[in-house]
Structures are given as C-alpha cells and as structure tokens.
Amino acid sequence: MTLIDVALALPLFRTFTYRVPEGTTGSTSVGSRVLVPFRNGREIGIVVGPSEPRAGINYKQVIAAPDDAPVMDAPMLQLCTWIAEYYVSPLGVVLRTALPAALTGANAPVPARKTRRVVEIIAELPSLLKRDRLFARSPQQRAVFELLESIGGRAALKLLAEQLDFSASVLSGLVTRGLVRVGVETVERDPFLTRARRPPDTHLPSDAQRTAIQRLAVAEPGHVVLLHGVTGSGKTLVYLELLRRIVLEQGKTAIVLVPEIALTPQTVDRFRAVFGDRIAVLHSALSDGERHDAWQALRRGDKRIAVGARSAIFAPLRDLGAIVLDEEHESSYKQGEAPRYHAREVAIVRARAEGAVVVLGSATPSLESWTNATSGKYELLTLPDRAGGATLPIVHIVDLRAKQVKLKPSDTPEADAAFALAISAPLADRLRDRLAKREQSILLLNRRGYAAFVQCGACGDVAVCPNCSISLTYHRTPERLVCHYCQHAEALHVVCARCGGARMRQRGLGTQQVERLLSERFPAARIARMDVDTTSGKWAHADILDRVGAGDVDILLGTQMIAKGLDFPNVTLVGVIDADVGINLPDFRASERCFQLLSQVAGRAGRGPKGGEVFIQTRSPSHHAVQCAVTHDYYRFVREELAGRVHPPYPPNVRIANVVVSGTQEDATARLATSVTAWLHRLLEARPAFGVTVIGPAPCPVERVKNRWRWHVLIKSTRQQDLGRIGRFLVERFEVPKQFGLRLTLDRDPVALL
C-alpha cells in the first residue's frame, strides 16, 4: 500500500495521509498535485512526502493525480517549509501562494479574454449649472456619468458595474440623451508585449557605479548587498550590468522584484530594452491563464528573468544567479494576509539555498537593512551622487502655520482663499513659472477623495463609517461619503446625524479638491490626477505615466503612488501639499514612512540638466523626518530614528510579532485578548529561559474594521528563535472559542501596527 502525506491549503497545522490506489497514472512523488477527498468535498493538495501506515486506520484514497511530474521542486518546497515555520502559517497555505492560481484552483477559472463592452462619454458637460439642470431628476445617471468622467471618460462596463450599482435603464437613459456611447471592443493584448521597445541606455558607468558592478561580479553565492544610492544615482544600470553577466554570460537566471509593476513601467521598459524576450513580466493584470503560461515558460527555461511584484520571488527558475529587490524599503513587499511573508527575507533565504546573489536597492533603505549592512551581515555599496552630473534638488519648507504664506491681499477673496489654503504663495508662484517655461511639476497629496472628512459646524460630530472606527472621506464625482477601509459608501449628510444642525463642513484636502482648485487657477494647464480612484482600469497607471513622459501633462498630482521610481528629466518642480498626512499615526514606523515618502517624491525633481526644486508644506517643520528630507541626510535620519526605538525597543533593535485578535463582539474580543496575554505569561513563567516580553493587550489603533473589533498583543524578543517558538506555541495550541467570529492572527516582523 502506498501512502502519501499531503498539505492542504486550510488553516490547519498538519498534513493528511492518503492512499494511492493501484493504477494511478499521474505523478504522486513529492511536489506533485493530488486531488483528494476532504470532509464533504474535494481539495487540491501537494504531496510533501511518503507516509508509514498505522494500524487501525482506514485511509482515504487519492481521487486523481493530474501532473506528469512534480510542479514544485525540492528547493522550492524547502523554501515554502521555511516560510511556513518562520511566519507560523500552514504549509498548504504557503504552497498555494507559491503556485499560480490556475494550478491550485484557488480562483475560479477565468474565461479567455476576447471582447468586452465599453462605455464612453461623447458629450462634455463643463458647466456645473447645466449639469445640475440636466440631471435634476436622474441622480443615478449623474453618478454613472461622473464616475466615468473621473476615470478618464472611458471604461469597461464591467468595471463601472463593479464600482457602482446601477440598472441597465440608467445606462440606456444616458445613451438616449446622447451623453455616452456603448461599444464592443476586443480586449487589448498584454501591453507589456506590445509596448514600444525603447533602445537600451548607453551610459558609461560612473566611478561609483563601476565599483558597485565590480564588487557584485566577485560576490560569493548567497551574498547580500545593500545598494544605497541617492535618488537618480543610476541604480538600474548596476542591476542591468549584474544581470547581463549572470544571464547573458553565465547562462543563469534572475528575479527582479519591484514594489508594483503598474507604477514602474519605466523600470520594466529598461530591463526589456536589454533582455527583450528573455523576460517574463508577472503583473497583476494577467489572467490566471496568462500567469500560468508565464510560469511554465520560466519553468521550461524559455524565459530566464522574472520581473514582478512580491510573489515573483516564487518564480520557478532553476540555476538562479541573482535576485534584485528595487526600493527594498517598500512595505508592499510584505503580504498582508497569510502567509504574512516579507519578500526580502524570502529572497535572502532562497538565494542562500540556491547560491544566488541578492541586491537590495534603495535611496532610503529600511532601518532593518541598514542595520544589517552596518553590522556586516550585508555588504554596503553606495552611490553617493546623482548620475550624469545632475544634482539633488534644493528643498524648501513652507511653514503652514505662518500667516504670510497664505492670502495675497490683491487676490479676489473666496476662490483664492480656498486655493491659498491648499497651495501656498511660494509654491503657486513656482507652478506658474514652470507652466510658463513648459517644464513639468509633480504635486503630492497623500489623501484621495475631495475632503478628508465632514464635520458638523454646530456640535463637531464627524461622519464615521458604520463598520469601521474611521471617518468617512468626502468624494465628488460621484458624490458620496466613502470608507477607505471597507469601501462602504453613503450619501452626503445634509444635516448632522447627532444634533440635526445644517452646517456640515468639509475639512482636510483631498486630491479631487486640489485638482479642481488647480484647474480653476490654471485653466490652460494640463493636469493629470493619479490615485486609486483614477487608476482602476488595468493600464490606467501606465497610460498616465506615458502621457507625462510624452510631455502631454504639465502637472501630475497624486497620492504616494507618484513617488516611486519615476524618471522624468523635464520635472523641475515637486510640491508636497501636506507633509503631515501620516506623520503622527500611532505606529512606530510613522516617521520612517514619512521620511521615505518625502525623500522619494523630492527625488523626482531635477533629474535632468535643468535641475529642480522642491517645496514641502507642513505644520511640523522641525520634525526630524521633514528636516532630514530637506537636507537629504539619510544618515542623520537613521541615527535619530534608531535612537528613538530603544526605549521602548522597536525593530530593528528588537524582533516583534503582533498578535491580533478580532471578533464581531466588543467584550468577547477584549476578553480573548486578555486570556491570550495571560496564556502567554503562563507559558513564559514555565520557560524562564525565553528572552521574550509581552506587551498589552490594547485595542488596535484602528479599533474596528469591517464590523470586527480588534485588539492586539505585542511579543518582543532580541532572539528570533525564541520569538518563533512562542509564536508557534500560541498559534498551534491556544484554543480560540468558536463564537462571535473570534479569530487570532500572528504577524511576524509586521510593517505596521495599525
């Protein structure tokens, strides 16, 4: 009798034993998929080993073995086992994450894309007055029209329907009135395949670049290098030279990780310029089928470089020679659901096992990587200057607390007052100047929507989400209040829900409002807004960025998504509308995030020969995150920030795991948090050798999300093995009562504690 152990993608920390019936044709060796009965259904699992029979057990039979050969080789299985151990996640859940969805049935099969219906605006409605009259009796038509407007005037019907609930008659009403047209189009092919191929850069490396390239050429297998290069220092050229050697000369393979493909089409273009069809770009817009094709091509060796976000670290490449992690400080490298892995840690473990070199690149390395580089665990390579003779931009602070930056007396009152509250006089002057010189500007406001929240002018009550402990954001086009945590939307309150007062005030700027203020003040300017609301189309990011690159945009306004990797030499001005968004969040990384964001967005200015300058508007001009961004002083920032994480200790001075308990009932959740803490204390009393401290419990800073109450307990230790052991004990042994939807999750090395 042949018995096998199978890992299933279930929240259970064990494998299951099945019998392989005689005459099974497919592969049942380690790493193969098998279809097995489980409870009343069937599951796809991965064979993790042979098993020994035990007396008295009637083993269930494997239903089918669909593979000719294992889908997962031994090194990948080992990597997944490490992830399961370290992040305290069931092995089956990790294996499912590492394989394309088409193989594990994690998602319903997606039909091949062929045609789709698209809706397009054919009549502009510039005047608000006309709009009010036209839509007086059809607010639903208005909502659809304005949604369509806000995403560029054209969108797939399916996408519109996902965003807004409306009936077919609403759409046909718009068509009858000649406002929109509905058409059918063939779905475009993967634009990364059809994108114009740019010629490769032909720069001669600078001395610093050459040193880095030479060091990497002699790096031992498993070696980790932190490439700390200021913004615009030419880190990409160093990556390209490394890959040229690894892939073209040595015939090995490589993985390039970027925070998000959609936001970095330029980086991808540069790799494609050099390596062409050897690259598989694993972007989020691929269908399950396309992703599977790319995966197969990498496995067969037809493609030798995988470029992608976080999960591309699981690319099925053999002979791996190098892993590049660009913008290694980005929090998107950490997965927010189980398994809560960090691609940087996984990359390092994978590279060590398979003999590859790792390059972590950033202008603002995470404190973790910096500490590892200065302690000698990683090698530190530095590109201290901008490439091609460019210099870092001059950064000015505009103190929003000072009166004189606001109103200019000669201006007409109302509209200008609103404008001046958003854009200070010095920044407005520079914007006007850039428009006159036909140079480009980038404006950052890390808050989407129209106004941050609405507040009653009489009693001060703020409209909050019924499901989350968070205020609702006011959106226009379509007009509604939206929760940015759970997407709950409701109509704008005309009267206060608490006191019935009729003076509901909008507070705090959002990108929609700034876009409007800019277009009123600079009617001739071509303004592009880039935030989650304008980029719901699959290629919306790349489209906007391509327009900026082609010079068709004068002002690019957006949330943090405009701060990444963009390289536009004609951008000579960067403005930060409100640097204080996020700076005071109750999270130990709030300052680090803020410094990184300010430094990165400032780094978009002056990358060409014309130079550039940056204006940061803030009410906390003396905050060290702001100060160090102004002086481009990463070293000082790290020094001060590390010192601030000693009492109480936070990473990288200590390792932490965040245990979050949640449930639908407030009391039950709090009680569970208390008993988890007591359980941990008892465990530690029994094992005094463990160097672990337990902090809490306390309600999470965001106490309620999607109708679930949340409490957390922090486990800290300087010894990561102890932390791992305690975490595993807790997750595997602590029994969570089966009521009130109670859940317990453990997040090892969390990137945020909100």
| Least distance in angstroms from the C-beta of 583 to Zn ion | 23
Alpha helices in 412-471 (DSSP H): 413-422, 425-437
| Least distance in angstroms from the C-beta of 512 to Zn ion | 19
Q: Which does 287 bind (CB under 5 to 8 A by kind): Zn ion, ligand ADP, none?
A: none
**502: enclosing H helix or E strand:** none
- By C-beta, is 1 or 204 nearer to ligand ADP? 204
- By C-beta, is 475 or 607 nearer to ligand ADP? 607
Question: Phi and psi for 261 in degrees, rounded to 5?
Answer: -60, -45
Q: Which does 618 bind (CB under 5 to 8 A by kind): ligand ADP, Zn ion, none?
A: none
Instruction: Give the three-state DSSP class for 75.
Output: helix
Q: What is the DSSP string of 90-138?
A: -HHHHHHHHS-HHHHT-SPPPPPP-EEEEEEE-S----HHHHHHHTTT-
Q: Which does 556 bind (CB under 5 to 8 A by kind): ligand ADP, Zn ion, none?
A: none
| Least distance in angstroms from the C-beta of 457 to Zn ion | 24
| Least distance in angstroms from the C-beta of 133 to ligand ADP | 50
- By C-beta, is 389 or 409 nearer to ligand ADP? 389
| Least distance in angstroms from the C-beta of 208 to ligand ADP | 9
- By C-beta, is 131 or 484 nearer to Zn ion? 484
d(CA 243, CA 321): 8
d(CA 160, CA 536): 10
Q: Which does 486 bind (CB under 5 to 8 A by kind): ligand ADP, Zn ion, none?
A: Zn ion
- Cβ count within 10 A of residue 238: 27
Kindly state the DSSP code that residue 283 receives in the 8-state scheme: -
Q: Which does 488 bind (CB under 5 to 8 A by kind): Zn ion, ligand ADP, none?
A: Zn ion
| Least distance in angstroms from the C-beta of 468 to Zn ion | 3
- By C-beta, is 195 or 619 nearer to ligand ADP? 195
- By C-beta, is 209 or 335 nearer to ligand ADP? 209
- Cβ count within 10 A of residue 613: 17
Is residue 92 a contact partner of residue 46, using CB atoms and an 8 Å limit?
yes
Whole-angstrom CA distances from 407 to 419, 577, 618 are 9, 16, 17
Q: Which does 203 bind (CB under 5 to 8 A by kind): ligand ADP, Zn ion, none?
A: ligand ADP
d(CA 518, CA 423): 9
- By C-beta, is 360 or 431 nearer to ligand ADP? 360
**692: enclosing H helix or E strand:** strand 692-705
- By C-beta, is 90 or 393 nearer to ligand ADP? 393
- By C-beta, is 472 or 751 nearer to Zn ion? 472
- By C-beta, is 316 or 549 nearer to ligand ADP? 549
Binding site for ligand ADP (CB under 6 A): 201, 203-206, 209, 229, 231-237, 387-388, 567, 607
- By C-beta, is 38 or 485 nearer to Zn ion? 485
Instruction: Give the three-state DSSP class for 505.
Output: strand
Q: Which does 483 bind (CB under 5 to 8 A by kind): Zn ion, ligand ADP, none?
A: Zn ion
**CA 704 from centroid of its chain's CA atoms:** 22
* Residues facing residue 505 across a β-bridge: 455
| Least distance in angstroms from the C-beta of 754 to Zn ion | 14
| Least distance in angstroms from the C-beta of 493 to Zn ion | 16
| Least distance in angstroms from the C-beta of 569 to ligand ADP | 7
**33: enclosing H helix or E strand:** strand 33-38
* Residues facing residue 305 across a β-bridge: 254, 279
Kindly state the DSSP code that residue 205 receives in the 8-state scheme: P
Q: Which does 485 bind (CB under 5 to 8 A by kind): ligand ADP, Zn ion, none?
A: Zn ion
Q: Which does 655 bind (CB under 5 to 8 A by kind): ligand ADP, Zn ion, none?
A: none
| Least distance in angstroms from the C-beta of 232 to ligand ADP | 4
Q: Which does 229 bind (CB under 5 to 8 A by kind): ligand ADP, Zn ion, none?
A: ligand ADP
Would you state the torsion angle of the CA atoms of residues 365, 368, 371, 376, taken in this order, to the nearest 10 degrees? -100
Question: Phi and psi for 525 in degrees, rounded to 5?
Answer: -75, 145
Q: Which does 234 bind (CB under 5 to 8 A by kind): Zn ion, ligand ADP, none?
A: ligand ADP
Binding site for Zn ion (CB under 5 A): 465, 467-468, 483, 485-486, 488
| Least distance in angstroms from the C-beta of 602 to ligand ADP | 12
d(CA 353, CA 608): 41
**CA 575 from centroid of its chain's CA atoms:** 23
| Exposed e or buried b per residue across 667-678, where buried means at least 16 C-beta atoms within 10 angstroms of its C-beta | ebbbbbbebbbe
